[in-house]
Amino acid sequence: MATVRDLRDRIRSLKNTQQITKAMKQVAAAKIRRAEAAQKRARPYAGALAEMLADLISAVSSVDHPFMKPGRAGAPAGIVLITADKGLAGAFNANAISAAETFARQRSGVRYYTVGVKARNAVRRMGMPDHRTWMLGGTEKIETAREVARVVTGDFDSGTISEIVLVSQQLVTMMLQRPQTRKLVPILAEDIAALRGKDTSKPPTEQKGAIEFAPSPEFVLSRLLPKYLEFTIYSAMLETDAAFFAAQLVAMTNATDNASKLIDELTISMNNARQAAITKELLEIVAGAQALGVA
């Protein structure tokens, strides 16, 4: 049975831990406002860019661009895996990594491009130490997104990978973050409905109107397609940032509450142990006095 001193030390340790979790909770609550605001500003632009791209592709019969053609047969799929740089956010990072592993099991081979320290460490544990990696919170996110897009585009054009797949966390609500797997490149005919964010089981809608290209469809799409890939990765990085702070806020709130419950339970146990020790001493004093009286 634990002594009063042991219980007091455990209570002191829990109180110190509670102060840390409470401080992290307040930091996450402050940072999530900025991260969510940035993510909300970027999401409409990313959606409008994807929808405009789908309309442009639908308006032309064929486009001679690498992103519009199937990748090299037999080449591994390229997975852009985005996680946070830090932990202490429940299963946030593990869920994204698990989604990437699930996708990888469905392919004969994959090549990873990781954004975030946790993603980098997870891929290294898989036995794939040699891969391109970036930090989520390193330099400006837009610069990181451009660099990631440039690297994966070069590998896709050269035939090193057959497709570009993005695995990242989606911020559904403050209490719910869900990993999502999206194929970004190549953009084939069956992917146009997904670009518009519509259900592929429903019949396609009529074209809104004639679209004129200047100077040519190839020129317009050659400028738009790289921007689409770049900004989709950038938007996913912003959403991962906001989702991480939301997950951390929930995790630190639960940790703070659990610490309070444990402190209360240990305080009761310490009081019981102290009372038992006092009662034992009183009984020993009474027994000693009775022994002296009898003698």
Q: How far apart are CA 160 and CA 68, in angstroms?
A: 17
Is the domain spanning 42-198+211-235 CATH 3.40.50.2030? The answer is: no
As a whole number, mean pLDDT of residues 79-95 equals 93
Radius of gyration of the chain (CA): 29
pLDDT of residue 208: 54
DSSP 175: T
- pLDDT reading at 148 higher than 50: yes
Q: What is the mean pLDDT of residues 277-290?
A: 84
Q: Give SS3 for 185.
A: strand
Q: How many residues does the chain have?
A: 295
> Percent of the chain at pLDDT above 90?
43
Distance CA 209, CA 206 (A): 9
Residue pLDDT, tens place only, 177-227: 999 999 988 887 666 666 666 444 444 445 555 666 677 767 777 788 888
**Residue boundaries of the structural domains of the chain:** 42-198+211-235
Distance from C-alpha of 270 to C-alpha of 6, rounded to nearest angstrom: 9
Question: In this predicted structure, what is the pLDDT of residue 93?
Answer: 94
Q: Which residues does 151 contact at the CB level (< 8 Å), separation at least 6? A: 113, 132
pLDDT at 295: 52
pLDDT the model gives residue 219: 76
The distance between the two most distant Cα atoms of the chain, rounded to a whole number of Å, is 118
The DSSP code for 202 is S
Residue of higher predicted confidence among 36 and 242: 242
